[in-house]
Structure 1
Amino acid sequence: MHKSFKTFILIAIVLVTCALAIYPPKKNLRLGRDLAGGVNLVYSVNLNQGDNADEVIGRMIEVLKERVNPEGLYEISFVQQGRDRISISMPLPTKEIQQLRDKFQNAMSDLEDYVIDRGAFERALRLSGPERLAALDELIDNETSGPRADLIAPLRAAIEHADAARAEYDAAAANNLTDPAELSRLEEEAAVAQIDLDEARQTVADQLVSAEEVRRALDRSAETITVPNKATGQPESIESPRETALKAIKARADWAAAEVEKVVTEYNNYNANRRGLDDPSDLIRILQGAGVLAFRIAVESGELTPAQEEEYRKAIRERGPRAANLQGLVWAPINRIESWFNDITDQQFLVANPVGFFARQGFVGEEYNGIYYILLHDAPGLRLSAAEGDEWAVSGASSTTDQQGFPAIAFRMNPRGASLLGQLTSDNMGRPMAIQLDDEVYSRPPNINGRITSQGQIYGNFTPSEINYVVRTLGAGSLQAKLGTQPISVNNLAPELGADNLAKGLTAGIISFIIVGAFMIVYYFMHGGVAVIALLVNGIFILGVMALARAAFTLPGIAGVVLTFGMAVDANVLIYERIREELLRGEDLRTSVRLGFQKVLSTIVDGNITNLIVCLVLAYTGTPEIKGFAVTLGVGVVSTMFAALVVTRFIYTILIDHIKIKSMPQLPLVLPVIEKTLTPNIDWIKLRPLYVVVSTVLVGTGLFMIYQQREELLDTEFRGGTAITLNLTETQTRPDGSTHIVPAILPRDQVEARVRKIADEAKKRIDAGNPEENDNILVGLVSSLDVLVVNPEEGGINSSTFIIKTPITDQEPLEGAIATEFADNIAGFQPLTFIGSDAESVADAPVYEIIDASLGASIGRPDIRNNVGEFIGGIAIVLDQLDPPLPRVEIEERVSEAREKGATSSLMLDRDIRIVVLEGTDDRATSAAVLVRDPAISQFDQARWRAELRDPEWNIIRTGLTETASRLSIQSFSSEIASTFRGQAIVAVILSFLLILIYIWARFGSIRYSLAAIAPLVHDVIAAIGLIAMAEILYHKFPALGEYGIRPYKIDLGLVAAILTIIGYSLNDTIVILDRIRENRGRLNYASRRVVNESINQTISRTLITSGTTLFALLTLFVVGGEGIASFTYALLCGIIVGTYSSIAIAAPFVYVKKLDASDAPHETPDADSPST
């Protein structure tokens, strides 16, 4: 009882832990991108001139993988696109998280509608008379009371007073008033009224706040800062940076405080329920820091003249930190300002006097928008950064302690980095050196006391989580190229299976589970009930571990679950078949159960360990999708052994020892005819010639089919190709007769049919003997097409946006043909005109250098007062008299698309861009300015400024606005990247074969047994791939077969998972027979004909039951599961049938040794009670 109680406690702890981890399942069980949908981010990469793009981006992808998803548990994929793009895909959050996020975003939208836009405010004040007052009233939705009305009221009164005073003066002047004193008085009153108006205007402007300011405040850290208080001897908490920023916003704009608080409340609800990478913003935030290390000498207090220092302070205050970086100096943000505090009085002094605080520390510092910056040198000889080349790098990082025993980060440099760092430190001995990670200063710059070469430290007041973050980032490597600060495109992708297919697949899975469970109960009676309980425990264990590990279920992961349940059923069948053998020998139930478990122990362990070997290899070498399969299957291997050897054994102990059950019959014991049928006496070795014929046909056909199809077998992931994004629209007529463009919602099937129509028409022209130029290319769409739904409507199959994927690499014919077919549903940009749009020379174009914080001062229109301080040094392209007028968002969209298509380097896409409406409204701008600035290009270098900033930006933006533009988005998939995926999959499978061979050799003591395990696997893989290839050929020859599930399947990551599942299942089947052969041969060192035949006959019932139940489950999935998993289940059906055959026809005869066949020489047989070894 004592042992049983301990087992019960163990099982209870495992089940309760897993159940708590699973519940609620909608929240804790994550679905991968291919099951739940996902987001796709496309980033530009800033490459240096002369870089090998493929090599640099390849290394960059590896670093980002290590940084974002080091364990490979999340389905986040990185794919190079073109020369300087990286496409990153991740799963979408759960519906509950989406709802919370939507509430937050709605609150942000409400705030944006509520607050007064600065640009609209300035435009309103540029009007005059009643129009100005009407425009102001419109800004506050014509409210006559409330916070906004109270804010505007003094300004309205000042406008009315100024207008009246001005009108009175103008009237007097027009009537030639002869009294100079009176005219002077009226002029002075008008001037005073205008001054009062300007002050009232500035008062309102100072209180304006934007939704973006609130968003930036929310993005700041919410962690409360703890600072020591030497006076009390106790630590003192000060508010977090987020709280400080929000408090400042509410204090400045108290009229909007209530609306801001609503946003904060919704954000807190959303943020409290987010899990890891549940939102694309998480991924964007992580990717914004690229792990680039730099060393710069800090500017010391007093090093600059007071005039120089004030010039730099004025620059950061008016232009912002990026725009203020000129003439070899740079403003660098401090990562954790609290690491600079020794006492609460330091923090108070910093808040009250930032300049004095940093001066007392010996540095030049400044505060900008709540963030603190210090001034660093950025000139050769005073820095070690990416500007010194890409040969130097960080070779590793780890946590350590500094000289005072506080936590620190140790880093190591490669040889080139050690040389450069040694030169920098030896030339600047005694000066402070800042260590930057992704441009941020991570510790107070210490004075250089000695030459630093291969090793160094970053120290400061770090928390353990910060140390882990920095160590992990540095350990991933220092990137040569940096991602753009924001993605250049964001697309939400529908799951490739489709919502309908996923639902069908789950339904089919449940049906299969119920029917298999029912069969086990009908065939094994009470034993079957035990098996069902063990299977449920197995499922809970798998789900619980996946939930605890925060791992996502994907289609390849489902393959792991299918194999796990198959092996779990198989383990119970092995046990029950052994129990029945012992019962037939006359043993009682207790002894039969004990011997049954004892004799199958090695079989179950061997079968699961060999599968675990496959899991470990795939987890180490596989792609993220294959890792998903490996993790799920690995968990399943452990779960299967736990359920079979612990849970099942515990249940039998309770039934036999405590409930005192004396008999547990099975159907073959009740109906002996079944037992006789399932225990044949067949000479399997005699059938070897037949096996040779059958296997030759299977393998030969497989190889021929593979050769025949070659790359046609592969999907886009493995062969490269093209993806075209369709944004479909249609024109609708309003009740007033006007028209407007709205998204055109179409079903996926209709879009696919229209694309296939292109190929059908091309084929007709080819068959008729009058092909057009690109018909030979377009006809390929018939057999190589995948249409994905983007941002689907409810139901998951209807949308206005689709991605068409095809292995065809020639983009131009595809783009032209698809644009023609969908001409009525593709909204292209119509050409615009504006003053200067026909200028042939940039000198004659409306392009201005931004030289002042007020936009009007730079473009010669002093009435325009928009603050553009952060764009000083950039350009303003003025679009006057826009025809037709456009909404501001459409101008942004057109400019963004024009720059993306016309950019001559990825660096252009990282520039600061803003659209300012000069006349009209945001919904209908008649005049606007496009502001562009590149912080890396100084206006003092006019030759470079003109050649790299002004001229190319004008040419690109002018062309994009004045010419018709297609809205098709074309992306290509690199064949090199596809070959990398292929190589990884092949290496993983081969390495798995090798390790399995070694394990079986060690376990069975013979290379013959190792080869007997590997040969069927190779046989099964070739045969299964051949049958997959044959399906496509049959489909094209006999299209009617499509109704029965025979379709042109392609080998994608899902089918790779299916092939791996076949390997695992076949291997398990083979080991069952080999283990029985090993047991039956006893002490003999070879397997005779009798031993092999007897072993197969003894295990044939297990083989038929396990294979039969698995095949039935797969048939249910194939018929009911829908198109999304049809290819997966088709491959498994082929593989399971072939795998069952190969275990009997190849594995068992492979170990046969003919030594005793010529005589009846005596041989030793094992004792019936002896365990298998």
Structure 2
Amino acid sequence: MLSRNLWKLILSAAILAWAVSSMLPLKDRDFGQFVRSEAEAKQADFNKLMTKVAERVQAGQAPSVFVALKQIAREEKIDLSQYFPQVRLEANLKNIEKRNNILLDELLRRSKGRLQLGLDLKGGVAFTLEVDEQVAAKFNESTRKEKLEKAIEIIGARVNSLGVAEPIIRPVGDTRIEVQLAGVTTKDNPEVMNSLKKPARLDFRMVHPYAAPPQEVPPGYEPLTLENEGRNGETYTEELYVKRIPEMTGSGVADSYPVMDEFGRFKIILRFTKEGKEQFAQVTKAIADEGQRAGRLGRLAIVLDGKLYSAPTVREQINSDSAEISGSFSQREAIDLASVLNNPLDLPLAVKEQNEVGPSLATDAVSSGVRASLIGTVAVCAFMVTFYATGGIVAVLSLAVNIAIILGVMASIGVTMTMPGLAGIVLTIGMAVDANILIFERMREELALGKSLNNSNQAGFEKALTTILDAHFVQLIICAIMIWLGTGPIKGFGFTLLIGVISTLFSVLITGHMLMEMLVDAGLQKITMRRMLGDLKVDFVKYGKPAAIGSVALVLVSIAYVVYQGDRIYGIDFAGGDQITANFTTKIDAAAIRRVAEQSGVGEVNITYASDLGSGKEQLKFETAYGKSDQLLSALQKAYPNAGLVKQGGSQIGATIGKEIKWNAILSVGVSMLVILLYIAFRFEFGFGIGAMASTLHDILMNIGIFVLFGHKFSAPMVAAILCVAGYSINETVVVFDRIREELKLNPTGNLRDVINHAITKVFARTIMTATTTFLAALALFTFGGGQLHDIAFTFLVGIVTSTFSAIFIAAQVFYWWHKGDRKHVEAHHDIAPKYEWAGSSRASE
């Protein structure tokens, strides 16, 4: 009966094909070879051009094919788009150089592997920006710190607008900012680097009302050149005298964006802050008054990094929350100018250092992370096949589809793969089989009643469906909160898990169910289902009170220890630390450096090998907690005397994650608790919501306490991992609650204590099974992974144990206590009593 599954087969095949194609190519392709293969028109001419390009690169006149191609095209005024008709460009963009820049950027993007790796796996570029000392001296320490933090925020916005995932942007000392960009190289991405390495101050300056070059420069003004583009793409320049001291800076601009008017012309809308509105009103009034006196319209110049971008005329005072700049803009010009206006900086910054960064994890550490992920996946698959045989094979096949979809979606939307993201995928694998186990355990119950495999399959799927949807929907909410309130790795982790939850629903409910139905239709008569545990007869409610009291006592003790430790619980991400740069003669493996750090009591250490772009000399850089860097250097010199380690410099580094993000993490937990309460109360009943919130909060606090008790430090990935534990916890709790709700309907005469015990007994074996699969995945990361993976896996391992415990001994017990052990109290608050044609009554509950 293929017809009933035909749509599922077509849909699964189509999505799988799309996912695989989205990941291709897997690796970056050589840009020169790529553009040769992509040139579809005038190939002979293009091959001659590429010969010139190769000669220029070989002669050392250009660092790469990308740069050489751009240089020759500019010099010889060649429109490169003639060779690539398949790449669509704006029809009204006539300027050849701009067309070439857009075209080459697009070709460079297409030459890259679709699934990009993060800085910890692939390396990238790092540069340090420094505030001009004379400018810094004008501000007191508090103001300078505030302006530096504002500069970090603005640079972060610029980096994010370029699509660079999970950048590291942090203060170094009082006058410097360090920026690390994953997967960006100066050789292949010169345009990206040029736009970032000189973060400029945006000024609004007055244009002299009548004097212009070649006249004598008026006092207080300087000559600047404005480049304009004609209707046919021709460029011409205009020389103006612009005031040296700005009338206002870009800090008064809240937002800027291009719009198209009713005639198809582009203009830019500016929205001001409250202070910006007042400043702009004063500036435009002064210019309008001066223009009236001079008998011509005055102009207000927009200057970024000393470059004149535009000089619109001012007819009258503008006292409004917004203003517009109109003119003969192309769409690209409008977008570029709006981008300029959205990037103001109060402090002029200069590039102090610029380095090419190697992967912060050594080669063996990266391979160990991949190996740990593979071992975890194989362990989960082997477990499923061992206990469910044919059903396990179906689960493995649906898991393969799941992984393909996750990677395909990540590649298609540009999510960067990092070590924490890899850990999130492995955890998703462990959690994904949970849905399969729910269905298989329901099938087991139906088969025990004597039903056929076909009927058992359908009934098991239908009975597990609501539980699966409820559990995964709550996880989706948790992911949405991580994305909404999180930044950097937290947001990246949330995206990875969000993709995983959605792909799990599809692979299990569509692909997995289809495969099982097709096997049954093909003649499968029976299915092997082994068990880890037999039926238990335990009074879970009886043991719930002492178990909960003991658990809460442990939570209080561990949290008291967290409070006692204070700021010492924070890692470098949150607290900042010391950084040392050292020369060496023999390279020391990063894993070995971490071992020395652990043995010498230094603790957390971040390691990078960077090559100075000027000298090309490779240096070792490592970061430790405050006061620990020299201790680590001495320990390394003693452990590796032949490495030739010599300290070149050191500095203090600021926290990658500021106070705002700390509070965002706390807010994420608080919002998660509220959402869990509301959703469970809506889907089940308020007592269920209280139980779910209590158990999830218990798991979060328990994880934090145990995490600190074992000497671990908080970093951004740890916050994301703990929020992930909250999602896993609610998943386990929903399964128990769904069974309690079902038992209340099926057993209308049973008291609440018996109903809860019976429900937990039925799901206990399933809970242990799912906990085991997820535990196996996390255990592989903990055992075979290193560095950050080890810490993340530890959080998962603790979370799996606490979540399993709390679903049975916290959530269910809180629900029981909330209703005072009285079934009638439950029925009074929620319609769970069975419906009859006439009103019936139930026996009194305990």
Fold conserved (TM > 0.5)?
yes
- Whether 2:408 is the aligned partner of 1:544: answer yes
Q: How does 1:71-220 map to 2 (within 5 A)?
A: 74-93=165-184
1:976-1004, CA deviations, whole angstroms, 9 ceiling, x for partnerless residues?
96544433322222222222222222222
1:292-339, CA deviations, whole angstroms, 9 ceiling, x for partnerless residues?
252432565xx45xxx71667xxxxxxxxxxxxx8433333435x32x
Instruction: Tell me if the contact between 2:376 and 2:777 (Cα under 8 Å) persists in the aligned partners.
Output: yes
Structure 1 residue 696: deviation in Å? Answer: 3.8
Unaligned runs of 5+ in 2: 28-112, 837-846
Query: Cα gap change, 1:662/1:397 in structure 2, threshold over 3 Å: closer, same or farther?
Result: same
Instruction: Tell me if the contact between 1:508 and 1:1117 (Cα under 8 Å) persists in the aligned partners.
Output: yes
Two-structure CA RMSD over aligned residues (Å): 3.7
SS at 1:784's partner residue?
A: coil
Cα separation, 2, equivalents of 1:650 and 1:298: 75
Map of 1:648 onto structure 2 = 512
Query: Cα gap change, 1:626/1:294 in structure 2, threshold over 3 Å: closer, same or farther?
Result: same
2:625 to 799, 807, 816: 807
Query: Cα gap change, 1:398/1:1117 in structure 2, threshold over 3 Å: closer, same or farther?
Result: closer
Map of 1:982 onto structure 2 = 662
SS at 2:267's partner residue?
A: strand
SS at 1:791's partner residue?
A: strand
1:459 to 326, 340, 347: 326
Instruction: Tell me if the contact between 1:1021 and 1:1059 (Cα under 8 Å) persists in the aligned partners.
Output: yes
- Whether 2:32 is the aligned partner of 1:13: answer no
Query: Cα gap change, 1:721/1:285 in structure 2, threshold over 3 Å: closer, same or farther?
Result: same
- Whether 2:793 is the aligned partner of 1:1114: answer no
Map of 2:256 onto structure 1 = 397
Map of 1:41 onto structure 2 = 127
Query: Cα gap change, 1:83/1:695 in structure 2, threshold over 3 Å: closer, same or farther?
Result: same
Unaligned runs of 5+ in 1: 106-269, 271-278, 313-325, 351-357, 359-364, 366-373, 669-673, 729-742, 758-780, 794-798, 829-966, 1033-1048, 1168-1173
Cα separation, 2, equivalents of 1:493 and 1:332: 37
1:827-874, CA deviations, whole angstroms, 9 ceiling, x for partnerless residues?
99xxxxxxxxxxxxxxxxxxxxxxxxxxxxxxxxxxxxxxxxxxxxxx
Cα separation, 1, equivalents of 2:683 and 2:303: 51
SS at 1:450's partner residue?
A: coil
Instruction: Tell me if the contact between 1:702 and 1:1024 (Cα under 8 Å) persists in the aligned partners.
Output: no
Map of 2:247 onto structure 1 = 384
SS at 1:377's partner residue?
A: strand
1:50 to 122, 134, 139: 139
Structure 1 residue 1164: deviation in Å? Answer: 5.4
- Whether 2:173 is the aligned partner of 1:309: answer no
- Whether 2:319 is the aligned partner of 1:433: answer no
Map of 1:722 onto structure 2 = 578
Amino acid at match of 1:692: A
- Whether 2:827 is the aligned partner of 1:1148: answer no
Cα separation, 1, equivalents of 2:724 and 2:313: 60
- Whether 2:669 is the aligned partner of 1:1005: answer no
Map of 2:198 onto structure 1 = 288
Map of 2:338 onto structure 1 = 471
Cα separation, 2, equivalents of 1:528 and 1:818: 49
SS at 1:667's partner residue?
A: coil
Structure 1 residue 22: deviation in Å? Answer: 0.5
- Whether 2:220 is the aligned partner of 1:328: answer yes
1:1102 to 762, 766, 784: 766
Structure 1 residue 77: deviation in Å? Answer: 2.3
Cα separation, 1, equivalents of 2:329 and 2:797: 56
Map of 1:598 onto structure 2 = 462
Map of 2:23 onto structure 1 = 22
2:279 to 417, 420, 432: 417
SS at 2:354's partner residue?
A: strand
Map of 2:450 onto structure 1 = 586
Map of 1:297 onto structure 2 = 207
Instruction: Tell me if the contact between 2:423 and 2:793 (Cα under 8 Å) persists in the aligned partners.
Output: no
SS at 1:28's partner residue?
A: coil
- Whether 2:753 is the aligned partner of 1:1089: answer yes
Cα separation, 2, equivalents of 1:825 and 1:998: 59
Instruction: Tell me if the contact between 1:494 and 1:788 (Cα under 8 Å) persists in the aligned partners.
Output: no
SS at 2:710's partner residue?
A: helix
Structure 1 residue 1103: deviation in Å? Answer: 0.7
Map of 2:118 onto structure 1 = 32
1:694-746, CA deviations, whole angstroms, 9 ceiling, x for partnerless residues?
31453244224424544333211122221122223xxxxxxxxxxxxxx4544
Cα separation, 1, equivalents of 2:116 and 2:205: 41
Structure 1 residue 477: deviation in Å? Answer: 5.7
Structure 1 residue 747: deviation in Å? Answer: 4.4
SS at 1:44's partner residue?
A: strand
- Whether 2:843 is the aligned partner of 1:1025: answer no
SS at 2:713's partner residue?
A: coil
Cα separation, 2, equivalents of 1:972 and 1:288: 22
Instruction: Tell me if the contact between 1:30 and 1:552 (Cα under 8 Å) persists in the aligned partners.
Output: yes
Cα separation, 2, equivalents of 1:593 and 1:1143: 27
Query: Cα gap change, 1:751/1:567 in structure 2, threshold over 3 Å: closer, same or farther?
Result: closer
Amino acid at match of 1:1055: M
1:1128 to 773, 792, 813: 792
Structure 1 residue 970: deviation in Å? Answer: 1.9
Map of 2:609 onto structure 1 = 790
Structure 1 residue 630: deviation in Å? Answer: 0.6
Cα separation, 1, equivalents of 2:421 and 2:671: 20
Cα separation, 2, equivalents of 1:747 and 1:412: 52
Structure 1 residue 434: deviation in Å? Answer: 4.7
Q: Out of 609-618 and 407-416, give the one that drifted further.
A: 407-416
Cα separation, 1, equivalents of 2:419 and 2:656: 25
Cα separation, 2, equivalents of 1:1085 and 1:83: 72
Map of 1:691 onto structure 2 = 547
SS at 1:309's partner residue?
A: coil
1:576-632, CA deviations, whole angstroms, 9 ceiling, x for partnerless residues?
111222222233333322222222222112211211112111112213011110110
Cα separation, 2, equivalents of 1:397 and 1:448: 18
Instruction: Tell me if the contact between 2:430 and 2:775 (Cα under 8 Å) persists in the aligned partners.
Output: no
Map of 1:875 onto structure 2 = none
Cα separation, 2, equivalents of 1:8 and 1:540: 16
Cα separation, 2, equivalents of 1:812 and 1:693: 46
Structure 1 residue 1092: deviation in Å? Answer: 1.0
Query: Cα gap change, 1:1112/1:446 in structure 2, threshold over 3 Å: closer, same or farther?
Result: closer
Q: How does 1:827-838 map to 2 (within 5 A)?
A: none
Structure 1 residue 1102: deviation in Å? Answer: 1.3
Structure 1 residue 30: deviation in Å? Answer: 1.4
Cα separation, 2, equivalents of 1:815 and 1:750: 13
Amino acid at match of 2:223: W
Instruction: Tell me if the contact between 1:36 and 1:92 (Cα under 8 Å) persists in the aligned partners.
Output: yes
Amino acid at match of 1:288: K
Cα separation, 1, equivalents of 2:538 and 2:638: 67
Amino acid at match of 1:1092: I
Count residues with an aligned counterpart. 724
Structure 1 residue 538: deviation in Å? Answer: 0.8
Instruction: Tell me if the contact between 2:200 and 2:345 (Cα under 8 Å) persists in the aligned partners.
Output: yes
SS at 1:41's partner residue?
A: strand
Instruction: Tell me if the contact between 1:555 and 1:1054 (Cα under 8 Å) persists in the aligned partners.
Output: no
Cα separation, 2, equivalents of 1:981 and 1:704: 23
1:907-927, CA deviations, whole angstroms, 9 ceiling, x for partnerless residues?
xxxxxxxxxxxxxxxxxxxxx
Map of 1:206 onto structure 2 = none
Amino acid at match of 2:220: G
Map of 1:211 onto structure 2 = none
Map of 1:553 onto structure 2 = 417
Cα separation, 1, equivalents of 2:164 and 2:679: 27
Query: Cα gap change, 1:7/1:45 in structure 2, threshold over 3 Å: closer, same or farther?
Result: farther
Map of 1:1014 onto structure 2 = 693
SS at 1:1082's partner residue?
A: helix
How much identity, in percent, do the aligned residues show? 28
Map of 2:495 onto structure 1 = 631
SS at 1:553's partner residue?
A: coil
Cα separation, 2, equivalents of 1:461 and 1:569: 59
SS at 1:587's partner residue?
A: coil
Map of 1:619 onto structure 2 = 483
Larger Rg, first or second structure (1 or 2): 1
